[in-house]
Amino acid sequence: MSMTDGPTPLPEAAAAQAAADREAVTAGPGSSVTPEKRGRPGVFGAWGERWNALSRQQQWAFLIVVVILAYMLPLINPPIITTEPGNNFALACFDMARFALIAVGLNVVVGYAGLLDLGYVAFFAVGSYCAAMLTSPDSPFLHIPYLWTIPIAMTVTMFFGVVLGVPTLRLRGDYLAIVTLGFGEIVRILATIIPAMKGQVGFQNVGHPPGTEADGTPIFSNSNGVPWYWLTLSIIIVITLLVGNLERSRVGRAWIAIREDEDAAEIMGVPTFKYKVWAFAIGAAIGGLSGALFAGQVGFVNNQKFDVTTSILFLAAVVLGGAGNKVGAILGGALVSYIPLRFTAVAEYKYLIFGIALVLIMIFRSQGLLPARQRLLAYGRTAYQRVTQKDSTGPSSAGTPPAAGPGQDQNREKGVQA
């Protein structure tokens, strides 16, 4: 038989197929890490390939340029992109950043762990109320500096995430979605009926980070979006790096395994419940963080901003950007916020527009705008490169299954006697 010199243990046809696959894979230099394109090859697909072809240093250099440009965005105020005169561009930038941060958080829950959360706005609300009730003069509680409310808001929302997660994460799919939808409403309704949360009256003059300009006005004022945008952008960068660390670890692998096949994950030793609760808690903390920033910038929190449709908008941001891709989530979040701000004439129809956009995306790019897959191994790059290099040096060197060699002889004997 040809098995000793062939690359695969399969019969000729399959071997040829596999060889063809491998050739296709090693054809392009850019395909070393993600050999296969998901969805349709398109502009973004080509970008993804090119991106993977870059060396680590090139990628970092490119990222630094992008980040600097992102920081400069409200100062440059590019003519066509700008949302003025309808909306102040710096404030629009902050809003985009806020949505992007939310999308990064929701992406952990929906994109990685595959848990459909329709009540994510609840965590955003809890974060907002945390910041408001601990800083606003309207609040009867103790008052602390604004910056302290950020970690507190994250901790409290994380707690809420666990409280919601522990009983509900035994449910799956549709059931979980319905329960989270209910949770989103519960928080909003509680904010309405609990006297201390002041319903529609809300909290005025929510705190902001310290620092004043030369003329005595606070740097982080309600009307100046630039410092808030920079703060939020910096937080996004830190959070994205941390989420990236999680992604390329046991945690990220557990989440993706749960998304792919929860039962199989459990049987392969993944404590699925624990990691689902972690996904919920981490997603909640990021939502709460975004809520606290929002409360600080707007300076006013009441129960009107946390309805179900906002939740759906968050979800749309993740799906639009590409569920499971944190850069896609940032892009999706920014877009969902940007479009109604830029095209104020159509702002009233934003749900219609997003609805159509989602339908189109599902038809033409069912993986979202940036469908690049997760990298789940912190040091996988070199390992994959070794494999693909070995492949390209010569197909004959591409591993004969070690177990197959002597096994055949044994088997042949056995075949004769059995």
Instruction: Give the pair of three-digit tokens for residue 259.
Output: 């998304």
Considering only the stretches 314-322, 328-336, 351-359, 398-406, report the one whose residues sit in contact with other proteins under the rule CB under 8 A: 398-406
Verify binding: residue 2, other proteins, rule CB under 8 A.
no
Please, what is the minimum distance in Å from the beta carbon of residue 264 to other proteins? 4
Tell me the three state secondary structure of residue 172: coil
Contact of 293 with 178, CB cutoff 8 Å:
no
Considering only the stretches 42-50, 96-104, 293-301, 374-382, report the one whose residues sit in contact with other proteins under the rule CB under 8 A: 374-382
CA distance linking residue 135 with residue 143, whole number of Å: 5
Verify binding: residue 370, other proteins, rule CB under 8 A.
no
Nearest to 218 by CA among 228, 230, 231, 209: 209
Please, what is the minimum distance in Å from the beta carbon of residue 49 to other proteins? 14
Please, what is the minimum distance in Å from the beta carbon of residue 246 to other proteins? 5
Please, what is the minimum distance in Å from the beta carbon of residue 13 to other proteins? 10
Using the rule CB under 8 A, which residue among 22, 98, 276, 305 binds other proteins? 22
Report phi then psi at 212, rounded to 5: -130, 150
Torsion angle defined by CA atoms of residues 256, 258, 261 and 267, in that order, rounded to the nearest 10 degrees: 120
Binding to other proteins, residues 236-295 (CB under 8 A): 242, 245-246, 248-254, 256-257, 259-261, 263-272, 278, 282
DSSP string of 71-93, one letter each residue = HHHHHH--TTT--TTTS-HHHHH
Nearer to other proteins, 133 or 398 (CB): 398
Q: 136, exposed or middle or buried, with CB in 10 Å at 0-12, 13-18, 19+?
A: buried
Verify binding: residue 190, other proteins, rule CB under 8 A.
no
Nearer to other proteins, 9 or 209 (CB): 9
Please, what is the minimum distance in Å from the beta carbon of residue 169 to other proteins? 14
Verify binding: residue 398, other proteins, rule CB under 8 A.
yes
Verify binding: residue 18, other proteins, rule CB under 8 A.
yes
Instruction: Give the pair of three-digit tokens for residue 69.
Output: 């440009």
Nearer to other proteins, 137 or 405 (CB): 405
Considering only the stretches 4-12, 149-157, 223-231, 314-322, report the one whose residues sit in contact with other proteins under the rule CB under 8 A: 4-12
Nearer to other proteins, 80 or 403 (CB): 403
CA distance linking residue 99 with residue 117, whole number of Å: 16
Verify binding: residue 7, other proteins, rule CB under 8 A.
yes
DSSP structure class, residue 302: -
Using the rule CB under 8 A, which residue among 55, 57, 200, 410 binds other proteins? 410
Nearer to other proteins, 86 or 373 (CB): 373
DSSP lists the bridge partners of residue 331 as none
Most distant CA pair in the chain, distance: 97
Binding to other proteins, residues 203-242 (CB under 8 A): 242
Using the rule CB under 8 A, which residue among 5, 36, 174, 215 binds other proteins? 36
Place of tokens 């319905």: 178
Q: 317, exposed or middle or buried, with CB in 10 Å at 0-12, 13-18, 19+?
A: buried
Verify binding: residue 405, other proteins, rule CB under 8 A.
yes
Nearer to other proteins, 191 or 254 (CB): 254
Contact of 74 with 227, CB cutoff 8 Å:
no
Verify binding: residue 380, other proteins, rule CB under 8 A.
yes
Residue 232: Cβ within 10 Å count: 25
